[in-house]
């Protein structure tokens, strides 16, 4: 005989083991088999939008002139009845200045740190649990946050200054006309209130970057594609995230070489500040006052109006001029 006889038990054990693994392999293949897979089809994702306006607050527009950016911001908020109009105790507020570039405050490429600090202070006093100051910068975030003076000023005023973290972007379906799935920084999906703090400055493509253009900074990913249909994209952003309050800093206005600037020769001291709960009207007002632009020259305003996001005729809403 060429081999020894094996016992029945041995036979059962050995074939059983092989059969067990074989069954596992066949069963696994059966269960995991997918005839056709379409991993990129995500049509069923419900569109997300965030309306962070406070119900029952009448839309108004404040035009403030003065000698100190912080005091001007304070005056505007007081005219709305104080920050408690907007922020309730325990809420999370995200304050978004423009911190896009590695530039000093006097170069007017980033929001004035005095304005940011004052808004943060008022939110803290109104009892906000968290006041987060953040922006998705263009240049190296460490340099932008610090050279702009915003990190230090906001931290001192009691804000949680958050340098963008790459793990914190979430892809959501904005359901806009141009913008579908976009990477949005997660704080904007979680916060209770959102205060938009742009600086009015020149921009090569749209001539001026104001409130809605500042919403660019909530996105990560390949956001530079937005320039292809900039006006529709801005309105999609504005419809996706409706701010509690917009304050346009125009203490210094960059008139050329925007949005980065660099030369003080391109900066004009205007010593002004606008505030409104209506994001279309405030863009219309800022465009007219600082860049001499009519609503026709700012096509995003007309689009926003048609989408029901406000009015491009800023004089239609109650306006107060304040000097401090």
Partner 1 sequence: MPSSFQRYRRLRWMRRISQGFFLLLFFYLLLQTNIDALDSPDEVPEISAPVELFLELDPLVAVSTVIATHSLYRNLFLAVIIIVGTLFLGRFFCGWMCPMGTINQMIASMRSGRLKGRQRLESNRWKSYQNWKYGILAFVLGAALFGSLLIGFLDPIALLTRSMALVVLPAYNVLTHDLYSWSLYADLGPFSILLTPIAWVVHAVLIRAETVVFEQTFLILLIFIGILLANRFITRFWCRGLCPLGALLGVFSKTSILGLEKRASLCTDCNRCAMHCQGGDNPQPGLTWHQTDCHLCMNCVASCPESGIDFTFFPKREETTQKVSLTRRAVLTTAGAGVLTVPLLRAATNPDRTPDPSLVRPPGSLPEREFLSRCIRCGECMNVCPNNALHPTLMQAGAEGIWSPMLMPRIGYCEPTCVLCSQVCPTGAIDELTEEEKNWVPPAGKEETAGPPLRIGTAFYDFGRCLPWAMGKECIVCEEWCPTTPKAIYFEEAEVITREGEYLYLKRPHVDPALCVGCGACTYACPVKGAPAIYVTAVGETRNTKNRILLEQNRGRAAEER
Based on CB atoms, which residue is closest to partner 1, 65 or 104? 104
Vertex 210 angle, CA 209 and 211, to 5°: 135
Choose which of 50, 203, 242, 271 interacts with partner 1 (CB under 8 A): 203
Q: Which residue has the tokens 């006097």?
A: 106
Q: Which stretch binds partner 1 (CB under 8 A): 15-23, 89-97, 164-172, 304-312?
A: 164-172
Q: Does 227 bind partner 1 (CB under 8 A)?
A: yes
Q: Does 204 bind partner 1 (CB under 8 A)?
A: yes
Q: Does 143 bind partner 1 (CB under 8 A)?
A: yes
Q: Does 147 bind partner 1 (CB under 8 A)?
A: yes
- Find the helix or strand (DSSP H, E) in which 64 lies: strand 61-65
Strand runs labelled E in 135-209: 160-162, 169-173, 181-185, 193-197, 199-203, 207-209
For the window 78-117, what string marks contact with partner 1 as x by the rule CB under 8 A?
A: ------------------------xxxxxx----------
Q: What is the DSSP letter of 219?
A: B
Interacting residues of 12 by C-beta distance below 8 A, sequence separation 6+: none
Q: What is the DSSP letter of 125?
A: H
Nearest Cα neighbor of 188 from 44, 280, 51 is: 51
Based on CB atoms, which residue is closest to partner 1, 261 or 310? 261
Based on CB atoms, which residue is closest to partner 1, 62 or 154? 154
- Shortest Å distance, C-beta 101 to partner 1: 8
Residue 241, sorted as left (phi over 0), alpha (psi -120 to 50) or beta, turns out to be beta
Q: Which residues bind partner 1 (CB under 8 A)?
A: 102-107, 138-140, 142-143, 145-149, 151-152, 163, 165-168, 170, 186, 203-205, 222, 224-225, 227-230, 256-257, 259-266
């Amino acid at each position: 005989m060429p081999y020894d006889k094996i016992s029945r038990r041995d036979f059962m054990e050995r074939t059983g083991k092989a059969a067990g693994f074989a069954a596992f392999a066949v069963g696994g293949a059966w269960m995991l088999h997918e005839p056709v897979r379409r991993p990129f089809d995500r049509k069923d994702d419900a569109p997300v939008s965030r309306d962070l306006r406070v119900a029952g607050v009448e839309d108004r527009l404040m035009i403030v002139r003065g000698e100190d950016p912080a005091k001007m911001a304070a005056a505007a908020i007081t005219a709305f009845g104080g920050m408690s109009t907007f922020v309730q105790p325990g809420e999370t507020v995200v304050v978004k200045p423009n911190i896009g570039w590695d530039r000093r405050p006097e170069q007017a490429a980033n929001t004035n740190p005095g304005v940011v600090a004052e808004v943060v202070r008022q939110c803290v006093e109104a009892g906000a649990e968290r006041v987060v100051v953040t922006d998705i910068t263009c240049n190296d975030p460490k340099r932008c946050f610090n050279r702009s003076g915003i990190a230090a000023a906001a931290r001192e005023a009691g804000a949680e200054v958050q340098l963008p973290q790459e793990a914190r972007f979430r892809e959501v379906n904005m359901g806009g006309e141009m913008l579908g799935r976009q990477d949005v920084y997660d704080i904007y999906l979680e916060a209770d209130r959102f205060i938009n703090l742009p600086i009015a400055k020149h921009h090569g493509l749209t001539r001026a970057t104001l409130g809605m253009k500042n919403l660019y900074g909530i996105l990560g990913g390949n956001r530079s594609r937005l320039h292809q249909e900039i006006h529709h994209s801005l309105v999609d952003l504005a419809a996706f995230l409706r701010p509690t309050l917009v304050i346009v800093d125009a203490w210094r206005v960059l008139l050329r070489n925007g949005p980065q600037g660099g030369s003080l020769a391109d900066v004009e001291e205007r010593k002004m500040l606008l505030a409104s709960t209506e994001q279309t009207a405030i863009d219309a007002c800022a465009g007219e006052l600082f860049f001499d632009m009519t609503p026709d020259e700012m096509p995003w305003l007309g689009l926003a109006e048609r989408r029901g996001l406000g009015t491009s005729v800023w004089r239609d809403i109650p306006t107060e001029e304040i000097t401090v």
